[in-house]
Structure 1
């Protein structure tokens, strides 16, 4: 299985830290956030990783190289000065990811999720790791049914962790699903993945699991400090 790490965001909520360093390269526990993912992916048997980049993109190859130091082969999907959002970034990365299911993870989260435990062949187009709602996101995102299916509503919501296994088919018909919003007519297009995930739920093609271990959305300098203290 190959993997995609989303690392193209501007990190605006993390400024001034991200004025000179892209958020996934900020350090916690003595190493860049993205390095924790790379180590766990390698331990799970992943050998090829695509990292999408935009803000301060040139720093990633300098910091991570070609992946050999992690036992991986890293390809960089440079999106230019304007990030393509999660959907557009995934669409562009398919040129490297190929036609098989792949794992994708946000570069600005920290977690102890065992990537090896995630399904290599999701039963639908997407299998999402859900977590308890953090204090900064109490409303949650999606409903996880007892049989593992995901829904937009119909019960208490959990928060999407930013970790999932996808089939390329999750992007099929993306233009019709996304509609006429800003960015879709750009080359390459810019659009979010969330509407496609909701569309997959409506056609019963999205499953999930509840991770009850450690997970942090490192979205602010304070959360980064708290994570660094905990890992230390």
Structure 2
């Protein structure tokens, strides 16, 4: 039987409907957390909510469609979270997009650039701002960054820039609110078997080619990313803050 490490804790998750967000929500619910989950995709969010209610009927649950690029929607959702679930102890900001990747810098379209920045960077800032305002002493925030935010690569300029900025946002917030014992960290995945990761590569790429830079020659599991997020939310990481932690199978080793 799993230890209920998060019993009595309320955790908010953006981008919860699929991928790492979906698995993280189930991972935390299984360990006793009450959840406030959001996503822009209503169908996936409803499916996840039904699954949580079925598997973990005793877990507190709020779910709401939220576009994180709209600060008013974020503020309303976080306020509702505290009103209905009583508090906010942790947050996982995973909402993000890759959007159109282009081989040439000069081909970047204004609309593509603005959409990626508005969701990946501004959406993360809006979420953090609302979360920090209501979070209790000793809380923890985990942001979604990427290895793309740590190292250069062609074809994903907007995405890489947005994630590099999330790293800076994470560190700046950690410095400011550490006095309240609220921690802020970011995970930097690569090679995790998600739809977004596979969208980076054309069909002509084989797994062997994609994983060539990785020391561990397999895709990472979303459950492994969820476990890292849970560690950063929990008490075993109470002296870790301001970090950008790679989970990349040794790609950047």
TM-score (norm 2): 0.39
Relative to the length of structure 1, the TM-score reads 0.42
Q: Which has the higher helix share?
A: 2
Select the structure with the greater relative contact order (CA < 8 A; seq sep ≥ 6): 1
> Larger % of strand: which?
1
